[in-house]
Amino acid sequence: MATTRSDADSRRAQVLDAAVRVFGARGYYGTSTQQVAAEAGISQPYIYRLFPGKEALFVQVVKHVSGRLQAALADGASESRSEDPRDVLAAMNASYDRLTRERDLLMLLLQANAAAAVPAIREALRECYAEQVEYMRTVAGANDAEIREMFGRSLLANVMVAIDADELDAPWARTLTGAPAARPGEAPAPS
């Protein structure tokens, strides 16, 4: 029995990782369970043995990503050499930035926000945000304004990474990414 449970857990993790990639690329509305199954290398009926339907699968993907976000925040907190909440938040933010350089994960986060009209997905996102906020409040000792500022910067950074704004040497892109202007004849500075 333990082997069966282990196999199902392993398959579930495999499907969640595949679903991050497929839902991240195509969104909730543009993705079928058949596409997720193909990416995971399993049959579509097996998806339904693991998850009752596409909505339930997407909700579990959001929860899976939420766990990865929390792990990134924990890594950042452990890297901080200061107990000042701003320094701890900065270390958490740096770790978050590294995690969201995984384009599939970043795009999944953006796609999940776009699918928030679905009540179960909206609730999963609320839980995700609540967990991250309370973790920052507890571990970093940050206040509401500091947490709001970090979230605001992070959400803007998500959009800028998604649209490859760091590849542009345009005033609007420099303003939103904080990148310095390139000198004439130079490529834009990496962010």
150 alpha carbon, distance to own chain's centre: 15
* Average pLDDT, consecutive stretches of 10 residues, N- to C-terminus, the chain (191 residues): 68 95 97 97 94 97 96 94 93 91 92 97 97 94 93 90 91 89 57 44
* Number of alpha carbons in the 13 Å side-chain half-sphere of residue 80: 23
* Whether 10 contacts 3, CB under 8 Å: no
User: What is the rounded CA–CA span in Å between residue 5 and residue 49?
Assistant: 13
* Whether 96 contacts 156, CB under 8 Å: no
pLDDT at 174: 92
pLDDT at 191: 44
* Whether 50 contacts 8, CB under 8 Å: yes
pTM of the full predicted structure? Answer: 0.86
Going from N- to C-terminal start, the domains of the chain cover 54-166
* Whether 20 contacts 104, CB under 8 Å: yes
